[in-house]
Each structure stands twice: as structure tokens, then as C-alpha cells.
Structure 1
């Protein structure tokens, strides 16, 4: 079972992420960074026995983040193309999906604060695309947990997918803390506009009590 799952995950990543998609809503491939990541063999995948539970998956994810940060130091500018993926095996898809969702939600703040994205993938994922609300970019044939370095374009994920304004503001602040000195004029403007928008949104929220 496990080797089949790893093969399925690898085949999906290779066939889906570096290619165009008719529902993407823009030109180009689904994930431009994965083109170089796959070509240079920067994608590292490991199995996880999902019967071990949430805490074990979280522990493995932290180990993989430590490994990713070590690899980033060695890779220099190529660090943005490094990817670590965890493939849970041994449980029915719905149970593995629920596990990935729980662990993703619990660990995401740690990753964002460290300057990394933590991604959850599974069949029929409900999250919409950035450029087309009918596109579901995180739909995969089996549940997966992935991580990579944050890049400037991830600002749009924070703006569109973080519906809670306080959480969105926190993500933007973490982004600024980690990347402000590296941003060009365009991305600096995007960040400032996003911060201004969420500040205005929060000013309209009634105070509790």
C-alpha cells in the first residue's frame, strides 16, 4: 500500500504542478516554482504511518521543517524551490484527510512565522483558486502535507484565503517581518495595500461587549 501511495503522489506532483490547467484562470503552469523544483530534484517525499496519530504526524512535520531549513542554508538563492512532502498511509482516505487538516491547522502559524508555507492537499479540496473561484488548486488524489519557502506571490494566498481579518493581519505582519527587505517596489505596494485594506476592515468590526 505504502509504495503505491508514494508512486501515486509522485506521479500527481509531476503531472499536475508543472503544467497548465484549463481552469487555472491565468496563463502558465499551476505552480511555476515546481518546474525547477522537479527538474533539480528538490522535492523530498517521505511516508508516514497515519495509524501513529496526529502528534506523530506533527512531530514528523517539524522534523521535515528543520530539514528544509538546513537544506535552505545550503541551497542559497535556490531555497525557494525546495519542497518537502509527507504522504500519510495506512488509513482510509477520509480519516487521513481529517488528520492532515487538523495537523495543518495546528502547525500553520509556526510555519508562517518561520517564513514557510504549510500546504494541505486531499481529494475534493474546497479551497478556491486565486484567479478562478471554480478552480480547486489543492485537490489531489490522496491526502498530503507539503511545505516550502514563502515567496512574494504567497501574499495573494494570505489576502484571499485568510478570511478572518485578525488572522490575515497577523500573516501579513509575519510576511513583512521575514521578507520586507527583499521585496521590490511592486510587492512592497501589494503588501502595503493589503495591510491598509485589512486595517480598514478591522476598524469596522464592533468591539466585543
Structure 2
């Protein structure tokens, strides 16, 4: 387990104790990632896995999960996510080709359907500018699922997950479609990758 102040991260090679309260949530997320995100889906609208980066992240043991029980409010979650953002920058690897596969998922297994929209979608929308400004992406996943449809099939909901969570990763070249709704986001993207 990796620890930073009061925060903890698990990975596939460093799981919580079998009888620990976080184990079921981490197992559920790892099974979802390896069974859903890394595979094609008939409704996706394109070939390849639902998320092209998760396989390498899992294989390199850079797919890390934090579990926070209880029902925090949006302000508490936003503060927590910003602390993970600070930690993300110093998590190894910090450079080289492996760094682009570093992923942190912050799970909130006790959030019910009533809370996920305000807490998960709301916090993601609020903090996205902070992440994009630093060349990072903040994704939201939950059981409802989020309203955003797929890029290739607007009726498909690729952000469906069995546990409500927010995911931190580096921005990659293929992220432009997720940023075009804001000129400031596009400008930041172009600073990193150049103009399309």
C-alpha cells in the first residue's frame, strides 16, 4: 500500500487484507477494469477496448485505487481529490514512457444513486479546469452512469462503473474531443501537444 499523509493507494500487486473493509471495493474495481475497460464492447462504435490505456496501466502495475467509505459531501470530495492530485505528481514513475500510464481511481462505494450526480459529476465539473491546467484529466464513473455518451456512439455510456469514482491520469493526444467545449482547455491541450 502506498501512503501519503492520510491517503492510501492499492494496486493489483498490493491489495488490502482479505478481511479488510477496502478489499471488496478494490477487487470490484480491478475486475471491472480488466473485464470491461480493457475489452471491446459491441455498442462502443469503434474497434478496440473501451479504454485503450487501462491494459498497459494494469500490466505495469500503475493502476492504483483509493477507497473512501461513508458519504462525504461535494466540498469534502473536492478537497480530497485535490490532495490526490498533489500526490499524483510525485507518484512513480514521474517521467519516461511509463508515466503516461499512471492512473489513480478514488472510489466512494457508499454513495447512493441520489448522491452520485452531485458528488461525482459535480466535483468532476468543478475541478476539471484545475486538472487540465496541469496537463491532467479527471474522469467520473458511476453506476447511473454519467450522462455523457460515447464519442463514436452517443447512445453508449462508457463511463458506467459498479462503484462511484473519480479517476486521475495524464492528458494524452486523443483527449482533444473531451476538451473542445472550452477554449481554455483547447489552448492548454495545444501547449502540450501542438495545434491539430
Alignment TM-score, normalising by the size of structure 2? 0.81
Classify 1:121/1:85 alpha carbon distance in 2 versus 1 (closer, same or farther; 3 Å). same
Q: Is 1:139 aligned to 2:153, yes or no?
A: no
Distance 1:172-1:39 versus aligned 2 partners, 3 A rule = same
Partner of 1:169: 183
Compute the displacement of 1:27 (Å): 1.3
Give, in whole Å, the separation in 2 of the partners of 1:58 and 1:78. 27
Measure the CA separation in 1 of the matches of 2:149 and 2:112. 25
The structure that is helix-richer by fraction is 1
SS state at 1:120 partner: strand
After TM superposition, list the pairs within 5 Å mapping 1:118-137 onto structure 2.
Answer: 118-123=138-143, 124-137=145-158
Moved over 6 A (4+): none
CA distance in 1, matches of 2:135, 2:78: 18
Larger radius of gyration: 1
Give the SS at the match of 2:107. strand
Q: CA contact under 8 A between 1:93 and 1:142: conserved in structure 2? A: no
Deviations 1:71-103 (A, max 9, x none): 366342211111000001333233144311121
Q: How far apart are 1:34 and its partner, in Å?
A: 0.9
SS in 2 for 1:49: coil
- Which runs of no fewer than 5 residues in structure 2 stay unpaired? 1-20
* Superimposed CA distance per residue, residues 160-207 of structure 1 (whole angstroms, 9 cap, x where no aligned partner): xx3xxxxx2111011112332xxxxxxx4xx3xxxxxxxxxxxxxxxx
1:91 and 2:111 aligned: yes
**SS of equivalent residue, structure 2 residue 46:** coil
Mapped to 1, the partners of 2:26 and 2:176 lie a distance apart of 30
Unaligned runs of 5+ residues in structure 1 are 163-167, 181-187, 192-209
Aligned position for 2:9: none
34, 37, 40: which one pairs with 1:20?
40
Q: Does 1:70 align with 2:90?
A: yes
Q: 1:135-174 CA distances to partner (integer Å, 9 max, x unpaired)?
A: 1111112211101000000012223xx3xxxxx2111011
Task: Supply the distance in 1 between the matched residues of 2:26 and 2:150 (Cα, whole angstroms).
Answer: 26
- Superposed, 1:93-108 pairs within 5 Å as 93-108=113-128
Q: 1:129 to 1:91 in 2, by over 3 A?
A: closer
Aligned residue pair count: 175
| C-alpha RMSD of the superposition | 1.9
